[in-house]
């Protein structure tokens, strides 16, 4: 079985969703967050904090920064649906990325550090899911 299939299975997806929903808000203030894994035809959404499937700015940030392994930000101007905001993209060691978006203020160094720690936590959770699947 392909590793991506294992990581996209229910228990791994549920674990990552719990991290986004319960753990990440304790250390980083954000509007929405998602974890993407590499897929055969581009980034594949694994988990998100949005119930309406609205990670379009998250996916756009991921695609815009695909060539950089370091944490990076992408600014978005205001549009008819949302005010201006900024996305923080943190690569996962196993491939893919944690993308965190918020409206308004820029990311500071402590928040970037916390997001990197959360990305490591997500990668470990996914690795353990693959090992014990």
Q: What is the mean pLDDT of the chain?
A: 84
pTM (two decimals)? 0.85
Chain centre to alpha carbon of residue 96: 8
Summarised one tens digit per residue, pLDDT across range 38-82 is 888 888 899 998 765 556 889 899 888 877 789 999 999 998 888
**Residues 108-114: contacts with CB under 8 Å, at least 24 apart:** 111/27, 111/28, 111/29, 112/71, 112/88, 114/27, 114/28
Give the CATH number of the domain where residue 59 resides: 3.30.450.40
Domain count of the fold of the chain: 1
Summarised one tens digit per residue, pLDDT across range 79-121 is 888 889 999 999 998 888 999 999 988 999 999 999 999 999 9
42 Rama class: left (phi>0) / alpha (psi -120 to 50) / beta: left
What SS3 state is found at 7? helix
Residue 108's domain comprises 3-131
């Amino acid at each position: 079985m392909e590793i991506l299939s294992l990581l996209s299975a229910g228990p791994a997806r549920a674990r990552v969703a719990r991290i986004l929903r319960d753990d990440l808000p304790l250390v980083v203030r954000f509007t929405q967050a998602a974890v993407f894994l590499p897929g055969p035809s581009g980034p594949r959404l694994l988990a998100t904090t949005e119930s309406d499937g609205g990670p379009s700015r998250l996916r756009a940030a991921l695609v815009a920064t695909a060539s950089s392994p370091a944490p990076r930000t992408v600014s978005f101007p205001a549009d008819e649906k949302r005010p201006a905001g900024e996305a923080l993209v943190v690569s996962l060691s196993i491939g893919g990325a944690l993308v965190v978006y918020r409206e308004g203020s820029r990311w500071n160094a402590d928040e970037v550090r916390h997001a990197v720690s959360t990305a490591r936590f997500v990668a470990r959770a996914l690795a353990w899911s693959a090992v014990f699947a």
